[in-house]
Amino acid sequence: MQYLGKLFEEVTTYLLSKYCPTISLTVVCQMKKIPTGISALDSIIKGGLPAGSVVLLLSEIGAGGQEFVYTSAAKLLMVKKDPASRHLVLGDECQESILPEEIHHITFSRAKQDILDEIKNSFNQNYYDAIEDSLNISDFSYPYFKRTMVPSGWTGNNNPASIFSESANNNLLRELVDFLEEKSEENMVVIDSLTDLLSNKAIDQYELITIIKGIRRASKKWGGVIYLLLSKEVIDRSTEYLIIDSVDGVFNFEWSKNFRSTRRQRYMTVEKFMSVLPHLRREKIARFNAEITDYSGYHVANYEMIR
């Protein structure tokens, strides 16, 4: 094994010197990681997700996808505000991880105040304060509802938000692409949600999937992390597979299927992620048992081993 390890190092060093002379083996080995904020997960995957990742959060209703991004945003923002709390909030493995410069949350059908109220009623005051103070919530409801029968009075868009102007094209996907181009570099961006986009008949599904592929490609240059929320079983399976194929990783959130138990259990599994799955296999982890509390948000209580 030592011989194989030495051989791998020598071959890698040779290839880098020949084809990428400006990149050292040390740089390759020291991949930049961005914490998820879920400390039990970050400890296993050695500090978080690789910078430049596009991650699909595929969730059954209420199974934890939404709470995952709220918890992640709140914890990262708390540490940015108080760097001394990094060890306490993020854990041992995230001491060398990088934090996003900014965190952006894109919403299409929900109002900013609705999101803040939900967080205030669900989590502790520290989480809410961090999100209210520093989370950048961008409301795309104006172009989302513009060509529908929904009256502007229902959505509060009698006076469009400053992010959009009356003279703008208001092509929703174009506005989204422009926003990502401007705001994604070294940042964390949450797109909430693909479910909204895929249920809007004005949006071409295949054009959206092509954009997701482009986001994946551009994200390697941006160096942040992008989360895409999608509810399970709202689109056909073939379209779901196309989306899964277009991202770097997939976190699957689901409820237990054991109907004999009176207690419902949330689970999270990693369905796809080249840089994450080897860690789970090495630790023989099949799936994570998750809980959501007002005090700690979304957290991994324990995990089930591969038998």
135-190: pLDDT as tens digits: 999 999 999 998 788 888 888 765 544 454 444 456 899 999 999 999 999 999 99
Residue that is written with structure tokens 């989360």 in the block:
227
The pLDDT of residue 162 is 44
CATH class of the domain whose range is 32-305: alpha beta
Residue 193 preceded by cis peptide, ω within 30: yes
- Tokens linked to 255: 């409820």
Of residues 205 and 11, more confidently modeled = 205
Where does residue 287 fall: left (phi above 0), alpha (psi -120 to 50 degrees), or beta otherwise? Answer: beta
Q: What angle do CA 98, 104, 106 make, to 5 degrees?
A: 145
- The residues near 104 (Cβ < 8 Å, ≥ 6 apart) are 136, 137, 138, 183, 187, 188, 189, 190
Contact assessment for residue 216 and residue 247, using Cβ atoms and an 8 Å cutoff: yes
Amino acid at 243: I
Around 210, how many Cα atoms within 13 Å sit in the side-chain half-sphere?
A: 7
Domain boundaries defined on the chain: 1-30, 32-305
Q: How far apart (Å, rounded) are the C-alpha atoms in residues 49 and 53?
A: 7
The pLDDT of residue 158 is 58
Q: How far apart (Å, rounded) are the C-alpha atoms in residues 59 and 78?
A: 26
Contact assessment for residue 33 and residue 46, using Cβ atoms and an 8 Å cutoff: yes
Of residues 159 and 91, more confidently modeled = 91
Please state the rounded mean pLDDT for residues 85-97: 94
Q: How far apart (Å, rounded) are the C-alpha atoms in residues 239 and 253?
A: 18
Of the listed ranges 13-22, 121-130, 238-247, the least confidently predicted one is 13-22
